[in-house]
Amino acid sequence: MKILKIDHLGIAVNNIDQAKSFWTDVLGLPHEGNETVAEQKVTTAFFPVGQSEVELLESTAPDGPVAKFIEKRGQGFQHVAFRVENIDAALAELKAKGIRLIDETPRMGAGGARIAFLHPKDTQGVLVELCERND
């Protein structure tokens, strides 16, 4: 598996419009716009930082994964996403190493990325996302 970089850090928030003022007004990061990913019941907002990004995540449904995360742990850091060269090969390698996968096969994420999550029970409690992009 070849990890290219940290693609983004996911931050769970109750309200993107309220939360983004810290990232733009206080830290001065540009806001690249919002995108709703209906399949994942989430609206995202990206803020580039060098070659990586900060991703704010707002649930669009009370039963969505971000809503459940906030209910259990509160707002804050939700996941780290690593950009990989080949997500299919990465998932096969991790499965062969005994790592539990939330996603056995990649699904579509924000920005047209192919994504998959690893189970936090096998990653010392950190939700890890693998991400493959064509850019």
Residue with tokens 């780290």: 80
What is the pLDDT at residue 135?
72
CA torsion, points 112, 110, 116, 102, in degrees to nearest 10?
Answer: -140
pLDDT in tens, 1-47: 999 999 999 999 999 999 999 999 999 999 999 999 999 999 999 99
Q: What stretch of H or E contains 135? A: none
Sheet holding 52-59, edge to edge: 34-37, 42-49, 52-59, 3-12, 76-84, 128-132, 114-118, 107-108
- Give the DSSP letter string of 57-122: EEESSTTSHHHHHHHHH-SEEEEEEEEES-HHHHHHHHHHTT--BS-SS-EE-GGG-EEEEE-GGG
What is the pLDDT at residue 4?
96
Are 77 and 59 within 8 A, CB to CB?
no
- How much of the chain exceeds pLDDT 90, in percent? 96
pLDDT in tens, 95-129: 999 999 999 999 999 989 999 999 999 999 999 99
Confidence of residue 134 (pLDDT cuts 50, 70, 90): confident
Residue 60 pLDDT > 80, yes or no?
yes
pTM for this predicted structure? 0.92
What is the pLDDT at residue 77?
97
What domains can be seen in the chain, in order of their start residue?
3-132 (3.10.180.10)
Residue 86 pLDDT > 90, yes or no?
yes
Confidence of residue 88 (pLDDT cuts 50, 70, 90): very high
